[in-house]
Amino acid sequence: MIFENAISRHTSAPALLRSLDASMLRQKSIANNVANVNTPGYKRIEVEFETELRKALDPNRLQGARTDNGHMEIGKPNLLTLHPQAYRPTDPTLPGQINNVDIDMEMAKLAENQILYNSGVKFLNDRIQTIRSAIVGRG
C-alpha cells in the first residue's frame, strides 16, 4: 500500500500503466485484424487511447472536484479510471461488405505498438529503480 502510494502519487506511473494496458489491447486488436485479413466482410478494430490520455494530462483542462467516490467525473477524464477503447472505424471510402484490413498498415502498427510497449516498460523500470534506490540507499 505504501509502495502503491509512492508510485501513484506521481503522474508518470499510472499514465505508464494505462499506456501499457492500451498497448496490450492494441496488440490484440492488430492480431485480430491480421487473423481476419481474408475473412469476407470483416471490419477492422482499432484502439483509441492517446487522445484521452492527453486530455487527462492537460493541466489547462477543466475538472470537477470530487470529494466523494460516488461523485461523477466532469470534464477531464480521471487518469486512474482511464480505459482504452476498442472501436470499428467507419471507412467512408469503402462501401458495405468489403474487408477493410490493410495488411501493411497493420504490420506498421504492430511494430510501432511493440516499440511503444518496450519504451513504457523501460520508463516504468526506471521509476521502480528510483524508488528501490530510495529504499535501499546508496551502500
Binding stretches for other proteins (CB under 8 A)? 20, 23-25, 27-32, 34-40, 42, 45, 47, 72-74, 81, 83-87, 103, 106-107, 110-111, 113-114, 117-118, 121, 124-125, 128
In the complex, the smallest distance separating the C-beta of residue 107 from other proteins, rounded to whole angstroms, is 7
In the complex, the smallest distance separating the C-beta of residue 134 from other proteins, rounded to whole angstroms, is 15
Q: Which is nearer to other proteins, 118 or 133 (CB)?
A: 118
Grid coordinates of 24: 496490450
Q: Which is nearer to other proteins, 11 or 125 (CB)?
A: 125
Angle between helices 50-57 and 12-35 (to 10 degrees): 170
Q: Which is nearer to other proteins, 11 or 31 (CB)?
A: 31
In the complex, the smallest distance separating the C-beta of residue 121 from other proteins, rounded to whole angstroms, is 5
Beta bridge partners of residue 75, listed in sequence order: 63
Grid coordinates of 102: 490493410
3-state SS string for 63-95: ECCCCCCCCCCCECCCHHHCCCEEECCCCCCCC
What φ, ψ does residue 57 adopt, rounded to 5°?
A: -95, -5
In the complex, the smallest distance separating the C-beta of residue 57 from other proteins, rounded to whole angstroms, is 18
Q: Which is nearer to other proteins, 132 or 138 (CB)?
A: 132
Query: What are the angstrom distances between the C-alpha of 57 and each of 68, 87, 117?
Result: 22, 23, 19
